[in-house]
Amino acid sequence: MIAKLTLDEIVQMLGSTPEQPVFDWKRTFAPPRDENAKAEFVKDVMAVANGTAFTRTPGFVLYGVNADAPDPFVGVAERWDDNEAQALVRGALDPVPEFLYYEVLADDDRWVGVVQVVPRGGFFVVTRDLGKLREGQSMIRQGSTTRGVRRADQLRLYLTPGYGYAEQLLQKYGAAAAMTNAQTARLQQLDLMQQQLVRQMYLSVGLSPPF
């Protein structure tokens, strides 16, 4: 279950966290109704979700905030529902990132929208043309900007020590190989014990063992 941010945590994040692969903020936000707005929201979720593949930490997009202002809270233009956000992203990305859209009350009438993404390996890809997004595209954040995923990103994800795909495969098959070797050694031990028992039986009745 995703633990939602509190208002104090949002304030701390805005004051101490620069925009990066797993953190983005937007000054304005309204529920996406047209194709371009829907594509923009999908791009926000996808870019931050892709960043979590490297950081293995949750990703966040904050809407209705301005981290550069003394009062960082602008508020969203209209409240929105997570069910609509989930349906939009589910119909546009593969695989579907695990995320939650929710809103936190900043004061009497200003709400901050939050997209919170659970870290997951691999890249998320657009499954259909939507606004300015094209089927097969994949986006990631770099500093304060969003760009397309490059071959270097894919190689880094594949090879990064600690959680790269290559290392995961080596660990997986290494563990499988170790189990196979252990089973083989166990069978060899059982076979040797059986031979010793047969040998003792032959010797106990005065016969020469067959081996």
Show the tokens assigned to 152. Answer: 């270097």
Strand, helix or coil for residue 35:
helix
Query: Cβ(126)–Cβ(136) under 8 Å?
Result: yes
Q: Mean pLDDT over residues 54-76, rounded?
A: 94
pLDDT (average), residues 52-60: 90
CA distance 60 to 3: 12
More confident residue, 161 or 23: 23
pLDDT at 136: 96
Distance CA 160, CA 22 (A): 18
Give me the amino acid identity at 60: F
Q: Render pLDDT for 93-133 as a digit per residue (tens, 0 to 9).
A: 999 999 999 999 999 899 999 999 999 877 899 999 999 99
Helical pair 82-90 and 35-55, crossing angle rounded to 10 deg: 80
Task: Tell which wins on pLDDT, 190 or 69.
Answer: 69
Q: How far apart are CA 40 and CA 54, in angstroms?
A: 22
Domains of the chain (ranges, CATH numbers): 7-160 (3.30.950), 172-211 (no CATH)
Q: Is 7 helix (H, G, I), strand (E, B) or coil?
A: helix
Residue 174 pLDDT: 59
